[in-house]
Amino acid sequence: MEMQRIVDMSYQNFEIHPVSPAVGSEIVGLDLSKPLSDEAKTELLDAWHDRLVLFFRDQELTADQFKTFAKNFGEIEIYPFIRKKEGTTDVERLDVETTPVMAPPTTILHVDISSFEIPSKGALLYAVDVPDAGHDTIWANLYAAYEALSEPMQEFLVGKSALYLPMDVVTRDLFMKAGPEGPEKFARFLKSPPCEHPMVITHPDTGRRALFIDPLRMWSITGLNWEESEALIGMLNNHVNKPEFQCRLHWKAGTVAVWDNRVTLHKRVGDPASKREMHRLPIAGTAPPSL
């Protein structure tokens, strides 16, 4: 017997099917190759703010159509350090076969470019060629992670900030093992100063508070000594990894995902390497994270 799907009946221009209680919904009934009506766009942004990650199946998009859809969520951001799809200057081409050794590992929960003063607002991924099994993506809801903390811990974290480094935890390990060539090989990371972000933020559109941490790049908590900082970071990293805050997407060719980078973490499941091509568009942030 087929499992009955949960449908949120609050929307008039599409169906929305939650994929987990905490985060993520599949949108049914929209052809992303066509412009959205004003009413559909308003509803879609409402759904995005509510569910944080939206999935669309069976889409066929040109690069221009992908970009047109992405602009419903904000301005497209260009990262010069990421390879682009042939014939475009802004659509990123991601695949497991040609990922540079020094690229940040996507198999650790993270916020995109958290070491920048203004991280991305969001991002979109479009599956072009994916394996039948494996290489799923997981997202975690940072509203839910904050709300699940005890009230004393919430109060303790409000007003605290943490330092973020461009050199992620794996790159730091490689640096330590690089020997005499390390400083030269990792010079661009060493020259970049750390960035500081609050550990509890208020979402600019919803007014809700969320935990803001990044297990990939968060280095230390300002004002705490090393032992205290390490203990608290370890606890919080374990906390956000709880499955009750998460959803998991199995990709199929033609699937599009869009997520709110300000209040979610995400990671790729690190299955053995196989062919996987994704196109990606980041959405530019408009302000630093703040309480």
Helix (H, G, I), strand (E, B) or coil at 221: strand
Cα dihedral across residues 269, 78, 55, 114: positive or negative: positive
230 close to 219: Cβ distance less than 8 angstroms: no
Contact residues for 50 (Cβ-Cβ < 8 A; gap 6+)? none
Two tokens, residue 115: 């070491």
110 is catalytic: yes
280 is catalytic: yes
Beta-bridge partners for 218 = 164
Two tokens, residue 270: 């690190």
Instruction: Choose the catalytic residue: 51, 112, 209, 279.
Output: 112
Instruction: Choose the catalytic residue: 110, 197, 217, 276.
Output: 110
Report how far residue 157's alpha carbon sits from residue 11's, in angstroms, rounded to the nearest whole number: 36
Report how far residue 204's alpha carbon sits from residue 179's, in angstroms, rounded to the nearest whole number: 45
Two tokens, residue 12: 């008039």
Q: 286: closest CA among 45, 66, 54, 75?
A: 75
Look at the block and give the residue holding tokens 């994704």: 278
Contact residues for 123 (Cβ-Cβ < 8 A; gap 6+)? 112, 258, 259, 261, 280, 281, 282, 283
Cα dihedral across residues 130, 99, 249, 91: positive or negative: negative
Instruction: Choose the catalytic residue: 51, 135, 209, 266.
Output: 266
> What amino acid positions are annotated as catalytic residues?
110, 112, 266, 280
